[in-house]
Amino acid sequence: MFSILEEFAYGNIPKDRGFNKNSEYGRAIASAADNEAKLLAKLSGEDKIIFQTILEAHLKIVGLTAKENLVYGYKLGVTMTTEVFVGRDSL
């Protein structure tokens, strides 16, 4: 029988997920990519470097936020599950 915990223990966690290009998410990504390309075509020299640095910082922030939200959500879920079994007064 499949066990997500065993798969997790062995590091078998899906890292990449696909998405529908016609979804709201897909359209937002396409719009960002198109507009980034248009802007980069108009920039040169130091302006292009500054813009790329901003994009890299933004990607870092998004990644850190996603990680923090995952950890927070997981802890909250475990706390909620624990409360079901031991009661609020025992937490």
DSSP-assigned letter for residue 47: H
pLDDT(2) > 70 = no
Q: Assign 66 a pLDDT band (cuts: 50, 70, 90).
A: very high
> What is the mean pLDDT of the segment spanning 82-90?
85
pTM: 0.68
Tens digit of each residue's pLDDT (9 = 90 or more) over 25-64: 999 999 999 999 999 999 999 999 999 999 999 999 999 9
| CA dist list (Å): 28 to 20, 23, 42, 77, 82 | 11, 9, 21, 30, 38
Instruction: Break the chain into its structural domains and give their ranges.
Output: 19-90
pLDDT at residue number 17: 79
Give the span between the Cα atoms of 13 and 6, in whole angstroms.
10
Tokens of 71: 């950890």
Tokens of 76: 């909250």
